[in-house]
Structure formats: structure tokens, C-alpha cells
Chain A
Amino acid sequence: MTLTRFVTKSAFRNKRRSLLTVLSITFSLLLLTLMMTIWHSFYLDKGSTQSALRLITRHRVSLTESMPIYYREKMRTVPGVVAVAPTQWFGGLYKDDKPENFFAQFGTDPAEIFNVVKDFKIPDDQLAAWQRDQAGCVVDSELAKKYGWKIGDRIVVKGTIFPVDLELTIRGIFTAPQPTITVYFNYKYVEEAVPFAKGHAGTFNILADSPEDVPKIAAAIDAMFHNSPEPTKTETEKAFQLGFINSLGNVKAFILSICFAVVFATLLVSANTMAMSIRERTREVAVLKTLGFTRQSILGLYVSESITVALVGGVLGCLLAIGLVSAMAKAPGMGFFFLGMQVTIPTFLLAIFVAGMVGFLSAILPAYHAAKLSIVEGLRHIG
């Protein structure tokens, strides 16, 4: 019998206990991986290379104020700006006000929006059809799938911010690198129906020539309108999205405290199991020692046993998390937060590492006691 086999054998000698421990660790690690994935996608992920080239300008005061539309032509004069498209959040209701029927509707300029979001793909004939129809719209492919929309279908969106209901004909379906739950329509539609919307835009989406230009463009645009009645704030697409997450409250502390609680709880469970399992085998330890096993090797045997159990739980938990995250990322009605999220390899490895560490730490104390045990006492020990 090799040492590895000895370790795996003893790790699962009490099948029920090992199974329960593994399951307990699995669920904890599932949660931990999920939290780390959310953290990664919020704070570490820089977005795709295309997304890193995009900037969003809003009114300095807040997102709810709008800017004059003529800013667009001024922005074009800033060196490094490739394309500018205005976007206006419509915030309307489709069918009812249930969260699962929520999606974004943006009024924009059909002639230019797809020059800004270059990684969104739409067939040329569909784009041309949309550009010709002022009451037309283009929809995200995932959204179209959810509602079974086809080209030529009509959708009605009830206005809440603007006193107008949109009756739109679907002229095209676009595919984005990640699902966006977005419908784009011609902003002229709202402008013509609502006098106060005329000549205004809520945000401007800008495409920069190169990543180096991005910070320069942001600074140049904000400086350009600094002393005007409607000052602006320009930031990268990623920073703009992060602003929404921050508005949810102290998300960082929230995630961290959950991670801490989960890791600590796992540590307790695992330590408990190891303590029980090693105490039951006090006599076995004495026998091993009689056979010539040193303290170090006994310590090593038990620690690796615990790590094995923890790793099995860890891997299972991570795999479950991968499945769950990909299911959530696709599920409509989950809002914007989980869109396009996935468990990255570093996150996976980190979670496995944490599981291993938990196994290691939880075994140290009981294994140390076992290794220290004198042979005579151990042999005399009664279960």
C-alpha cells in the first residue's frame, strides 16, 4: 500500500462522515466562489478591449439631468474621438412593472450608435431598415429569444419618465459580446412627441481611437464644458457601470463579510471532522509509531488526509458555482448585475487554494496532538 493510497483510504474510512463533510465544504465553497466571481467582475475585470475604448459623458450634477444635444458636435472636435452617439434612457414599462419584464430602452441616433458599439453585430440590411423607419427599433438577440420577437413584430413600451408610449416595430436584431437586455430606438421619436425632451440627451457614448487617448478625451471634454451652465462628467464605460454598483451601498464590505463568515464556518466544520476522526484512531496512531513512522510522517499523513477531504469539497463547490454562474448570467430578469459574468481561472484556482488551506489549518492541531502521543498511552486508549 502506497502512502497516497493510505491517505485516501483513511480520508474516506467513515464514508458517511466524509460525505457530510465534503458536502458541507461543497456548499460553502460554492458560495465563496460565487462571491469572488462577483467581486472579480465588479472590481477587477477591465472589460473587453472594445469596452475599454468607450467613454460615457453625463451631466456633472447627476444622471437625471440632461445635456444639450449640440455638445455632440463639439465633442467630435476633441482629438482621438472617433464617434459620438447620444443615448437617452427611456425607462418605460413593457407589459407590466414586474422585474422580470424589465429591460433597457435607449433613444439614440441610428446612424451612429453601431459605430460606437463596434463589437455589437447587426446585419447591414437590418441596420439600413432601422435607419429608414423612425418608429423602428433594434433589439438584443437574447432579449428577442426571451420574448420570441421576430423582425417586423410590434412592441409597445409605456412611458414613465416621458409622457408618451412608444409603439415600435422591430427592424433588426443585434448580437452583443455579452447579453445587454437593451432595445435601441430613434431618439427623434420621443423628441417629436415630448416638447421638453427636444434638443437634449441624457448621456453621450463616445468611441476613442486608442486606449491611450481615453483619459485625455475624458479630461478634454470635461474641461470644454466646465464653465458652461451644463457641465459634464466623462468616464470610461466600466467606471460608469461601477457607479451603479456603488449606489447599491457598501457592496465591498458586504461581499467581504460574507466571504469571511463562509471561510470561518468551513474551517470549523473541517476542524470538527478531523478532531473526531483523529481521536477515534488514537490506537492506530500508536500502532503506526510502533511500526516506525516518525512524528513528522504521522503529522503529514493526517494533514494530507484533511486536505484531501477539503479539496474534494472545494472542487465540487467550484464546479457547482461555474454551473450556477453561467445559468444566472443567461437568465433574463436578473437585471444587469449578472450579465456576462463567469468564473475565471484565477478565481477557480484561488477557491481551490482556500479549500486546501482550510484543510491544512483544520488538521494542524488535532494531528499535532496525535503525533505527540506516547505509544504506551495510545495503545492503552479505549475508543
Chain B
Amino acid sequence: MAIPISYNIRNLKLRKGLTIMTALGIALTVTTAVFLMALLAGLKKAFMASGDPINVLVMRKGSTAELSGGFDANLFPTLRTLPGIAKDAQGDPIASGEWVVVVVLPRKDGTGEVNVSVRGLMPAGLTLRPNAKLVEGRWFTPGQREIVVGNSIHKRFSGANVGDTMDFAKGQWKVVGVFDSGGTAYDSELWGDVNQVAADFDRQGGFASAYLRATDPVAADALKHRVSDDQRLKLEGTLETEYYEKQTSSGGPIKFIGTFVAIIMAIGSSFAAMNTMYAAVAYRSKEIATLRIIGFSRPSILTSFVIEALLLSLLGAIVGIVLILPFNGMSTGIGNQLTFSETVFSLHLTWGVALAAVIFAMIMGLLGGFAPAWHAARQDILTSLRA
């Protein structure tokens, strides 16, 4: 017969101080783990949402990022006339030749300088990114030294408001608008006219990349292969979604350090939980012996104490998750290894992260609780009663 769970709950309540302290210890470990997992979830969200499944990104063969591309401008007309590209209202193919360059901007809070991507695009580049919506001002005019800033840039850097001027490359650029693409990587970019950007950075006569908008996902896949297979072009097509998926690897260092920190803290917390549970068993040795005499079996005692340890760690997990709630949505920047510039993303507490945290805490509880529970179940009845 199983011992009712209410017995365990009452026991945890009885020794409040011990329970709270142990649970808090577990909670701190959970908080650290949740924080890191939420960071990674937010990063993934920013990159996953950036790609559009019907956009095909074209770069020089062998280059891994838009920054390291560069192909001759003569190839662009060929690309534009490939079959499968969607047409705009005027009947022109939606294709944009682009440049991505990196500039250094000072942070608003004065904590140094940050690399930021500047993207030069053709008007069609705006059409093929329908997620990017203007929230203030207007889009740039081709041929002018005008720039539109992403929302994250607008928030994090000084001088990134409509009407301000920014100083980079060969002179001053006027900020004419702010756009928002829903927390994607584009929000960490500055957008301007492609010819103007190319001229300012001495990159005329070519493009770093080209974006082609296909009519549908099937056409996108066909387009991608057509570009890559054409021997004359020496170019490579990737789906925009695939390209951004690769960039989530920027979270590599966080993932590595995070896992490492979480595991070490978890080991420490397991020992602490073990201590608490051993004490719980020691205090109740007479009680346990009594339970055995009444007829509760060894397995049911074992189960009962393991459940008590799990309850303790569950409490820790809940406190740990609650502690992180105020930080949910907080945004931070990370250096992107592919684009050499900062991408802003926010802490994203998902149900998946919360569930992982609970499981993580339960494992700690189990590691800490099993040995003491085993000890309790193996106790000799007579010796315990006499103690």
C-alpha cells in the first residue's frame, strides 16, 4: 500500500526553515538554467523568424555569409530572369541585389562600441520582406544618403531617431524612418539604397548577395537548385530560412558555458538536497519504524521518501521559474559570428523551457533523494524504535 502524499507535504511544512532553504538552493540553480535556456530560445526565435521560406538568397559559391560574398553585377540580370520568381504589381520580377557592410556605432549607455550591419537594398528588397513594417517616418529614397533603422537599433543606440544624422563611411547619413520586423535579426540592421551603400564603401560593380522571391515554396526550392547547378554563374542559392538557421550557432558559446554552469550547480544542489533528505530520514527514524510495523512495505517507504524529495525540488523549480519572470522579454545583444555584428534578441520563456526546468529540478531531487530513501527503507525496525 502506498503512503499518501499528504504525509510528505505535511512533513515538508513541519520543518519549514529546512524546506525553504533547500528549495531556494534548488531554485537558484533552476533560475540560472532557465535564464540560459530562455536566452537560447529567444535567440533561436529571432533567427528562425528572420527567414522567409519563399525567399532565395544567392551568394558566391563557397562564401558562408553575406559579408564574405561578392559577385559581378553582370550576373544580376541573369538571376532576375530565372523562372519561378514572383512578379510585383508592375510585372517586374521581385529580386534585389544587396550589400551588407559593418559599421561601428557607440552604445546609448556608453558601454563601448558595437558592430552593426548596414544593408544596401533595391526597392524590391522591401517588397520581398513584407514582415518589415514602417513604424515611423518613411522608407529611404534611392540615390539619397538616407537610412532607415531597425527597431532594436532605434532603441539601443543614440542618434538613431528620425531626423538624426549618422556618421559612417564617407559622410553623414540622414535617418528618415524606423522599421519593425517583429523581433527578427533585421531589427538589428540599418537599411539604405544599395547603390549609395556600394559607392560609400567602394564596392561598385558587384553585389554581396541577391534575394529572389519565389512564387511558392516549391518554386523556391527549384530556384535554389537552378542557381546552384548553373556552372556559368558560380553562385549558390540557399533558402533564407536555411541561412538563418545556421546563424543560430552564434549561441554556441552561451550554450556551452550555460550547460557547463548548470551541470556544476546541479551537482552542488543535489548534494544539498541529499543532506536535507538524510536529515529528514534521521529525524523520523522512529516514525519510519512505526510505519513498517503498521504494515507499509519497504518499497512504499522508498517511494514515499523519493516523492518527498521530488516535491521539494518541484517547489524549487516553481520558485526558480517565478524568479526569472521579471526578466522575460528583456533584450540583449549578441555578436553574430557570421555577420560580424550584433543581433539583438530577447529572453524568451517558453512552455518548453519551463518544462525542461521542472525536469531538470526533478532530476536533482531524484539524485539527492534516492540514497536517503533507500537508507530509510533498509532501516532495521527494532534498532530504530529503540533509538
A171 interfacial contact with B, CB 8 Å: no
Q: Verify if A45 is at the interface (C-beta below 8 Å from B).
A: no
Measured CA separation A24–B68 after assembly (Å): 48
| A82 interface hit (Cβ, 8 Å) | no
A258 touches B279 (CB 8 A): no
A49 beta carbon closer than 8 Å to chain B: no
Closest CB of chain B to A22's CB: distance in Å? 9
A31 touching B17 in the complex, CB below 8 Å, given contacts A16-B278, A20-B275, A248-B334: no
Inter-subunit contact B64/A160 (CB<8 Å): yes
Within the complex, which residue of A61, A265, A337 is in contact with B25, where a contact is CB–CB below 8 Å?
A: A265
Q: Chain A interface: which of B46-54, B89-97, B263-271, B305-313?
A: B263-271
User: Is the CB–CB distance between B169 and A262 below 8 Å?
Assistant: no
Decide if B209 is an interface residue (CB 8 Å cutoff): no
Q: For A269, give the chain B residue with the smallest CB separation.
A: B272
Min CB distance B221 to A, Å, is 23
Distance to closest chain B CB from A229 (angstroms) = 7
Report whether B278 and A20 are in contact in the complex, using a CB–CB cutoff of 8 Å.
yes
Contacts of B342 in A (CB 8 A): 247
Of B99-107, B157-165, B288-296, the one touching chain A: B99-107
B268 touching A268, Cβ below 8 Å = no
A196 CB–B CB distance under 8 Å:
yes
A30–B168 alpha-carbon span in the complex (Å)? 45
Question: Is A268 in contact with B24, judged by CB distance below 8 angstroms?
Answer: yes
Q: Does B362 contact A (CB under 8 A)?
A: no
Taking CB atoms, residues of chain A closer than 8 Å to B68 are 91, 160-161
B332 at the interface (CB under 8 A from A): yes
Contact A61:B169 (CB < 8 A) given known A17-B279, A265-B29, A269-B268: yes
Distance in angstroms from B98 CB to nearest chain A CB is 15
Contact A31 B168 (CB under 8 A): no
B62 & A272 in contact (Cβ 8 Å cutoff): no
Interface size class of A (residues with CB under 8 A): 35 or more
Q: Which residues of B contact A250 (CB under 8 A)?
A: 111, 332-333
Residues of B within 8 A of A163 (CB): 60, 62-63
How far apart are the CA atoms of A161 and B340 in the complex, in Å? 13
B102:A62 contact, CB within 8 angstroms:
yes
Number of interface residues of B (CB under 8 A): 55
Is A199 close to B, CB under 8 A?
A: no
Given the known inter-chain contacts A64-B340, A161-B63, A264-B28, please indicate yes or no for A27 contacting B201, CB distance below 8 A: no
A97 to B341, CA, bound (A): 20
Which B residues are CB-close (under 8 A) to A25? 268
Indicate the member of B170, B279, B332 with the most A CB atoms within 10 Å.
B279
A211 within 8 A of B: no
Q: Is A138 interfacial (CB-CB < 8 Å)? A: no
Complex interface: chain A residues within 8 A of B3 (CB): none
A249 touching B333 in the complex, CB below 8 Å, given contacts A61-B168, A64-B340: yes
| CB 8 Å contact bits of A37-72 with B (1 = contact, 0 = none) | 000000000000000000000001111110000000
For window 216-268 of chain B, which residues contact chain A by CB distance below 8 Å? 252-254, 261, 264-265, 267-268
Q: Which residues of chain B are near A265, meaning CB under 8 Å?
A: 25, 28-29, 265, 268-269, 272
Q: Mark B328-346, 1 if CB is under 8 A from A, else 0.
A: 0000111100001110000
A21 contacts B275, C-beta separation under 8 Å = yes
Q: In the complex, what's the smallest C-beta–C-beta distance from A379 to chain B, in angstroms?
A: 20
Assembly CA distance A196 to B206 (angstroms): 12
CA distance A97 to B28 in the complex (A): 37
* Binary B-proximity of A174-197 (CB < 8 A = 1, otherwise 0): 000000000000000000000010
Q: Does B31 contact A (CB under 8 A)?
A: yes
Known A-B contacts A20-B278, A28-B265, A62-B115; A158 and B62 likewise in contact (beta carbons under 8 Å): yes
Q: When the two chains form their complex, are residues B21 and A268 in contact, meaning their CB atoms are under 8 A apart?
A: yes
Q: Which of B322-376 contact A (CB under 8 A)?
A: 332-335, 340-342
Interchain nearest-CB distance for B167 vs A (Å): 10
CB distance from B233 to the nearest CB of A (A): 13
Also in contact, A27 and B268, with CB within 8 A (given A62-B340, A269-B25): yes
CB–CB A65/B201 < 8 A: yes
CA distance A65 to B102 in the complex (A): 8
A27/B332 contact (C-beta < 8 A), A62-B103, A261-B32 known = no
Question: With an 8 A cutoff between CB atoms, is B70 at the interface?
Answer: yes
Q: Flag whether A246 is at the interface (Cβ < 8 A).
A: yes
Knowing A23-B271, A64-B67 are in contact, say whether A31-B264 is a contact too (CB < 8 A).
Answer: yes
CB atoms of B264 and A27 under 8 A apart = yes
- What are the residues of chain B within 8 A of A249 when measuring CB–CB? 254, 332-335
Report if B184 contacts A (CB, 8 A). no
The answer to the question of A152 belonging to the interface, with a C-beta cut-off of 8 Å to chain B, is no
Contact partners of B275 in chain A: CB under 8 A: 17, 20-21, 24, 269, 272-273, 276
**Chain A positions within 8 Å of B101 at CB level:** 61-62, 64-65
In contact, B271 and A27 (Cβ under 8 angstroms): yes
Inter-chain CA distance A335–B334, complex, in Å, is: 17
Docked Cα-Cα span, A269 to B31, in Å, equals: 16
A272 and B18 contact, CB distance less than 8 A: yes
Residues in A with CB closer than 8 Å to B278 are: 16-17, 20
Taking the complex as formed, is B40 at the interface, i.e. its CB lies under 8 A from any CB of chain A? no
B112 at the interface (CB under 8 A from A): yes
- Measured in the bound complex, the distance between the Cα atoms of B369 and A20 in whole Å is 13
**Minimum C-beta distance from B142 to chain A (A):** 23
Q: How far is the CA of A97 from the CA of B246 in the complex (A)?
A: 12
Considering the complex, give the chain B residue whose CB is closest to the CB of A161. Answer: B68
A258 near B21 (CB under 8 angstroms)?
Answer: no
| Bound form: Cα–Cα A24–B267 in Å | 7
Query: Are A271 and B21 in contact, with the CB atoms below 8 A?
Result: yes
Kindly state whether residue A117 has any CB partner on chain B within 8 Å.
no
Residue A300 CB within 8 A of the other chain: no
* Chain A CB within 10 A, most for which of B24, B115, B268: B268
Residue of A nearest to B270 (CB): A24
Q: Mark B153-179, 1 if CB is under 8 A from A, else 0.
A: 000000000000000111000000000
4 tightest CB-CB pairs across the interface, nearest first?
A247-B335, A24-B271, A27-B268, A62-B102
8 A–B contact pairs at CB < 8 A? A21-B271, A21-B275, A24-B275, A249-B335, A250-B111, A258-B32, A269-B271, A337-B253
**12 further A-B pairs in the complex, CB-CB below 8 A; given A24-B271, A27-B265, A27-B267:** A24-B268, A27-B264, A28-B268, A31-B265, A63-B340, A196-B70, A243-B112, A249-B332, A250-B333, A265-B272, A266-B268, A275-B21
